[in-house]
A = this chain, B = another copy of it.
Amino acid sequence: MDVKTSATVRLTDAQRIDWLRLIRSDNVGPRTFRSLINHFGSARAALDRLPDLARRGGASKPGRICTQDAAEREIAQSARMGVILLAPGEYGYPPRLALIDDAPPLLAVRGVLNVQTQPMIGIVGSRNASGAGLKFAQTIAQDLGRAGFAIASGLARGIDQAAHRVTLQSGTVAVLAGGHDRIYPPEHEDLLLDMIEQGSGAISEMPLGHTPRARDFPRRNRLISGISLGVVIVEAAHRSGSLITARFANEQGREVFAVPGSPLDPRAAGTNDLIKQGATLVTEAADVINAVSPIMGRPVELPMSEPNDPAHDSGEPHADERVRIVNLLGPSPIGIDDLIRMSQVSAASVRTVLFELELAGRLERHGGGMVSLL
User: A-side interface residues toward B, CB under 8 Å?
Assistant: 132, 135-136, 259-265, 268-269, 272, 275-276, 280-284, 287
Q: Tell me the minimal C-beta distance from A132 to chain B in angstroms.
A: 5
The interface residues of chain B lying within 8 Å CB-to-CB of A275 are 260, 275, 281
Give the top 3 A-B pairs by smallest Cβ distance, nearest first.
Answer: A260-B260, A263-B283, A275-B281
Q: With A and B bound together, what is the CA distance between A231 and B93 in angstroms?
A: 49
Number of copies: 2
Q: Which of B135, B272, B280, B284 has a CB less than 8 Å from the CB of A260? A: B272
The interface residues of chain B lying within 8 Å CB-to-CB of A132 are 262, 264-265
The interface residues of chain B lying within 8 Å CB-to-CB of A269 are 283
A235 (CB) vs chain B CBs: closest residue: B262
The interface residues of chain B lying within 8 Å CB-to-CB of A260 are 260-263, 268, 272, 275, 281
Structural contact, B259 and A136, CB atoms closer than 8 A: no
Structural contact, B262 and A136, CB atoms closer than 8 A: yes
Q: Tell me the minimal C-beta distance from A118 to chain B in angstroms.
A: 25
Structural contact, A263 and B284, CB atoms closer than 8 A: yes
Q: With A and B bound together, what is the CA distance between A265 and B265 in angstroms?
A: 13
A264 (CB) vs chain B CBs: closest residue: B132
Q: Which of B263, B276, B283 has a CB less than 8 Å from the CB of A259? A: B263
Q: Tell me the minimal C-beta distance from A138 to chain B in angstroms.
A: 11
Q: With A and B bound together, what is the CA distance between A318 and B259 in angstroms?
A: 63
